[in-house]
Amino acid sequence: MVRATELAHVLVRQTVQTGDWTVDATTGQGHDTALLAHLTGPSGLVFGFDIQSAALAATASRIQQHHHVTLLHAGHELMAELLPPDAKGRLTAIMFNLGYLPGSDKQIVTRTASTVAALACACDWIAAGGLITLGIYPGHPGGADETAAVIAFAAGLPATFAATHHTRLNSVGTAPALVSIRRLR
Ligand SMILES: C[S@@+](CC[C@H](N)C(=O)[O-])C[C@H]1O[C@@H](n2cnc3c(N)ncnc32)[C@H](O)[C@@H]1O
């Protein structure tokens, strides 16, 4: 099975072009931020959110050659307050990778209420044709609730969006999965 994180990268590569504006809603070690920085190039913009300074430091060191990335030490639920107003309707990709940062404090995790608030905002701010990806992990405490809430939110979107859920069909258990949401118009 293709890992959720790898599939997210495939979909984002098909979507983001040079000069685009994008968001990494959970920078962690900066893998997604680095992909977005590479795809958008110096004429584009990338905004990265994380609540952990260690995550932002790791991300900053991974993208040090890119000067079009703005890292924000804040929760993604503050996206609407912290992004420039002209980013609304202009963002072509918003990536979430939920759960905890591997190798760090497992108590610091994304939480259902703030994740759903940020996802609602992401749906409001994404450009027509743009893509939201969410790597979801039911295996840690609180992860199953968050996973269910993300899937329910995506399933309830109107037909102006196309939402998909890529998951394992057998022995599903705590396997990671991917939700992707494309704004059609
Ligand atoms: C699974 S990790 C992200 C991994 C990352 N995409 C990478 O490539 O390494 C989840 C991250 O979400 C961050 N996080 C938790 N709550 C958050 C929130 N409300 N807003 C933004 N980031 C949050 C954690 O600090 C952690 O670094």
Q: Are 50 and 59 in contact (CB under 8 A)?
A: yes
What is the pTM (predicted TM-score) of this model?
A: 0.98
Closest-CA residue, ligand 1 atom 16, reads 110
pLDDT of residue 1: 67
Residue of 55, 7, 52 whose CA lies nearest to 30: 55
- For residue range 59-92, what is the model confidence (pLDDT) as tens digits? 999 999 999 999 999 999 999 999 999 999 999 9
Rg (CA), the chain: 15
Tell me how far the alpha carbon of residue 172 lies from the centroid of ligand 1, in angstroms: 23
Q: Are 70 and 45 in contact (CB under 8 A)?
A: yes
The atom number, within ligand 1, closest to the CA of 58 reads 9
DSSP symbol at 85: G
Question: Quick one: tokens of 173?
Answer: 């258990």
- For residue range 102-146, what is the model confidence (pLDDT) as tens digits? 988 999 999 999 999 999 999 999 999 999 999 999 999 999 999
